[in-house]
């Protein structure tokens, strides 16, 4: 046996609920696109035979942060493999960037980007991505990637295989031309054909841009925000029809990216009329962060009166302090989970995957979208949902009075980048502790139940700014080890004595996600 195999067998494997090994090569020329086993290192072409690395931020955007080789080498045994057709508006805006439309980024083929920007090929793209993932040959002898159709396909002793379970990120993925006269008929045909042919465990109803099924929560920071304003309200009639179809096929709803009102619509739809909480099926969030708030407090930390931008209100939030650390804060934008979201997921026997996106976990937004100089987060609320979100008069809302209990500018100014890895790790731990704390207050949940319903869902896709303590799968083992002491102290100091820190970490990083997914496959396929 090789040293490599001995090393793999002596530590707990890893699970990732939300992993994108196939996203970035959608932008490449089809005939020469990289293998999903390759690390993609985007560079700028500056002259014949010369390239330079793109600046740090753009590098984070364009370089793939997960690939099958990396997952295999770091014993990520089971993943929710995300199939996602990159959305039209992202492609249009990428094409407008001068370094892209001049052909200077070696990862992005200009003709391919034009093809994607038409918005007419989403269903084609997810089929292409799935075939590419499953037919590409590993450069590592005996290493394999295998999609699970049923629970018995998973063999934990098969250490040379990365197993994947299909998750679709966004119902737009089933469209050909969404503006065609027969778009609904084609959508239904594509949805039915794909889900009949493949075992799909869950789907996101929406993603970053407006769709026909439900309103989304604002969530993209890289482009002009106006292009991604959420302009509608809740779940649409067509959205309810598709969710009903998903339920009939035992496909779970991933609530990430849904607006708050759309999520509440979903909970009403899923709750059964019983004295005790019962749900049609589990509710999940594959790549989450926490607001640190109950829904009633959703505008408690606004920095200024919401600004009317025409079809939306711009909301700037200050960052509320953690209950557990003096130097850690939350992102209370509504793309994150409120306490009631956490409760509904747990009561439905669902599961929460924790995102490794700095911003989602609560680290300061440096996007520069507003003139606010204190650490803050920005989101946009549609006019159609404004009455629900703000009440009838947004202009009469109270703003946060001072810098107590929030991240102040001087606190952020004193930070050194060298401190970020340790600080980002505390932001992740804070989200775990907060979820456990919310569960501890609920008589029907409790910390022991909640501890089995948390996992990791990194969202390593090259579109996030990942935490500095774990930029990709190669950092998972060290992160897990480094979390132990802090997490043990917090469990002890907050009275969570029934939880053993080593068991909790093994569960969060592997057992919980694996057990949930295999149980769901058994319920779907026997």
Query: For residue 405, what pLDDT band results from cuts at 50, 70 and 90?
Result: very high
Greater confidence, 54 or 65?
65
- CB environment 363-376: b (16+ within 10 A), e (fewer): bbbeeeeeebebbb
Q: What is the pLDDT of residue 283?
A: 98
Cα separation, 501 vs 451, in Å, equals 10
Task: List, in sequence order, every beta strand (DSSP E) within 25-180.
Answer: 43-47, 50-53, 76-83, 144-147, 161-169
Write down the pLDDT at residue 366: 55
**Which DSSP state fits 150?**
S
pLDDT at residue 52 greater than cutoff 50: no
Question: In the predicted model, is pLDDT for residue 45 greater than 50?
Answer: no
- Would the pLDDT of 130 be above 50? yes
For residue 37 the two structure tokens come to 């086993």
Helical pair 122-135 and 183-197, crossing angle rounded to 10 deg: 20
Report the interhelical angle of 110-117 vs 88-96 (nearest 10°).
Answer: 140
Residue 170 pLDDT exceeds 70: yes
Tell me the C-alpha distance between 520 and 248, whole Å.
Answer: 14
Question: 337 burial class (0-12, 13-18, 19+ CB within 10 angstroms)?
Answer: buried
| Contact yes or no for 150/250 (Cβ under 8 A) | no
Residue 372 binned pLDDT confidence (cut-offs 50, 70, 90): low
Confidence (pLDDT) at 276: 76
Separation between Cα atoms, residue 34 and residue 24, nearest integer Å: 9
- 210 pLDDT more than 70: yes
Confidence of residue 211 (pLDDT cuts 50, 70, 90): very high
Q: Give residue 262's pLDDT.
A: 98
Residue 62 is predicted with a pLDDT of: 52
**β-strands 76-83, 14-19: how paired?**
parallel
Grouping H, G, I as helix, E, B as strand and the rest as coil, residue 199 is coil
Task: Give the C-alpha separation, 218 to 365, whole Å.
Answer: 14
C-alpha dist (Å) from residue 517 to 14, 284, 289: 13, 11, 21
Q: Per-residue pLDDT averaged across 427-454, rounded? A: 98
Q: Give me the mean pLDDT over the 40-67 stretch.
A: 52
Q: Which helix (H) or strand (E) holds 315?
A: strand 312-317
Q: How far apart are CA 488 and CA 483, in angstroms?
A: 8
Give CA–CA dist 456/343, Å, rounded: 18
Mean pLDDT, residues 187-201: 98
Q: Is the pLDDT of residue 55 over 90?
A: no
Q: Interior CA angle at 177 toward 115 and 285, to 5°?
A: 90
Residue pLDDT, tens place only, 318-329: 999 999 999 999
Is the predicted pLDDT of residue 244 greater than 80, yes or no? yes
Strands 50-53 and 43-47 come out as antiparallel
- For residues 290 and 320, the answer to whether their CB atoms sit within 8 Å is no
Look at residues 307, 466, 334 and name the one whose alpha carbon lies nearest to residue 399: 307
Q: Would strands 283-288 and 352-354 be described as parallel, antiparallel, or unpaired?
A: parallel
Cα-Cα-Cα-Cα torsion 291, 292, 297, 300, nearest 10 degrees, comes to -80
User: What's residue 6's pLDDT?
Assistant: 34
Query: What is the per-residue pLDDT across 112-123, written as a single tens digit (0 to 9) for each?
Result: 888 888 999 999
pLDDT band at 48 (very low <50, low <70, confident <90, very high): very low
On average, the pLDDT of the chain sits at 89
What confidence score (pLDDT) does residue 500 get?
A: 97
Pull the structure tokens for residue 266.
């979903």
Secondary structure tally for the chain: helices H, strands E:
19, 14
User: 43-47 and 454-456: which strand pairing?
Assistant: unpaired
Q: Which domains does the chain have, with CATH numbers?
A: 24-52+59-63+86-120 (no CATH), 164-525 (3.20.20.140)
pLDDT value for 29: 84
Dig out the tokens for 19 from the structure: 């992993």
Helix (H, G, I), strand (E, B) or coil at 292: coil
When pLDDT is averaged across residues 299-326 and rounded to a whole number, the result is 96
Q: What is the mean pLDDT of residues 380-401?
A: 94
Lowest-pLDDT choice from 41-55, 136-150, 263-277: 41-55
Separation of first and last alpha carbons in the chain: 35
The residues, ordered by sequence, that sit 6+ positions from 257 with a Cβ below 8 Å of its Cβ are: 170, 204, 205, 206, 207, 208, 216, 217, 219, 335
Give the distance from CA 328 to its chain's centroid. Answer: 21
| Cβ(306)–Cβ(371) below 8 Å | no
pLDDT > 90: percent of the chain: 73
Contacts 24+ apart (CB under 8 A), 97-101: 99/44, 99/54
């Amino acid at each position: 046996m090789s040293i490599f195999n001995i090393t793999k067998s002596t530590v707990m494997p890893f699970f990732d609920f939300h992993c994108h090994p196939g996203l970035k090569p959608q932008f490449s020329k089809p005939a020469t696109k990289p293998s999903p086993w390759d690390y993609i290192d985007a560079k700028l072409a500056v002259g014949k035979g010369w390239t330079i690395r793109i600046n740090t931020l753009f590098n984070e955007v364009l370089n793939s942060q997960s690939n099958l080789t990396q997952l295999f080498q770091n014993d990520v045994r089971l993943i929710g493999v995300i199939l996602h057709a990159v959305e039209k508006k992202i492609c249009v805006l990428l094409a407008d960037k001068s370094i892209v439309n001049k052909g200077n980024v070696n990862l992005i083929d200009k003709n391919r980007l034009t093809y994607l920007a038409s918005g007419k090929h989403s269903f084609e793209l997810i089929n292409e991505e799935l075939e590419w993932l499953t037919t590409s040959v590993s450069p590592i002898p005996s290493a394999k990637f295998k999609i699970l159709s049923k629970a018995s396909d998973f063999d934990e002793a098969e250490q040379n295989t990365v197993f994947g379970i299909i998750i679709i990120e966004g119902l737009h993925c089933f469209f050909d031309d969404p503006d065609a006269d027969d778009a609904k008929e084609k959508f239904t045909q594509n949805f039915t054909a794909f889900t009949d042919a493949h075992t799909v465990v869950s789907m996101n109803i929406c993603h970053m841009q407006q769709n026909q099924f439900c309103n989304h929560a604002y969530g993209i920071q890289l482009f002009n925000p106006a292009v991604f304003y959420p302009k509608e309200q809740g779940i649409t009639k067509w959205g309810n029809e598709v969710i009903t179809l998903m339920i009939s096929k035992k496909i779970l709803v991933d609530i990430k990216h849904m607006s708050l009102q759309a999520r509440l619509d979903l909970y009403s739809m899923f709750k059964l009329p019983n004295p005790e909480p019962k749900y049609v099926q589990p509710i999940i969030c594959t790549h989450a962060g926490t607001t640190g708030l109950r829904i009633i407090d959703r505008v408690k930390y606004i920095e200024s009166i919401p600004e009317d931008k025409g079809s939306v209100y711009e909301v700037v939030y200050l960052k509320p302090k953690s209950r557990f650390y003096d130097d850690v804060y939350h992102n209370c934008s509504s793309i994150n989970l409120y306490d009631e979201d956490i409760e509904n997921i747990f009561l439905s026997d669902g599961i929460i995957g924790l995102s490794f996106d700095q911003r989602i976990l609560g680290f300061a937004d440096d996007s520069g979208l507003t003139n606010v100089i204190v650490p803050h987060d920005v989101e946009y609320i549609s006019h159609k949902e404004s009455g629900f979100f703000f009440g009838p008069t947004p202009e009469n809302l109270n703003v946060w009075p001072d810098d107590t209990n929030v991240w102040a500018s001087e606190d952020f100014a004193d930070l050194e980048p060298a401190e970020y890895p340790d600080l980002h790790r505390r932001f992740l731990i804070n989200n775990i502790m907060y979820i456990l704390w919310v569960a501890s207050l609920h008589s029907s949940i409790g910390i022991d139940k909640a501890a089995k319903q948390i996992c990791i869902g990194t969202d390593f896709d090259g579109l996030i700014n990942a935490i500095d303590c774990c930029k990709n799968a190669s950092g998972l083992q060290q992160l897990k080890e480094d979390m132990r002491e802090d997490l043990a102290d917090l469990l002890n100091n907050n009275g969570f004595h029934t939880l053993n820190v080593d068991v909790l970490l093994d569960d969060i990083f592997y057992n919980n996600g694996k057990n949930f997914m295999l149980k769901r496959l058994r319920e779907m396929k026997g």
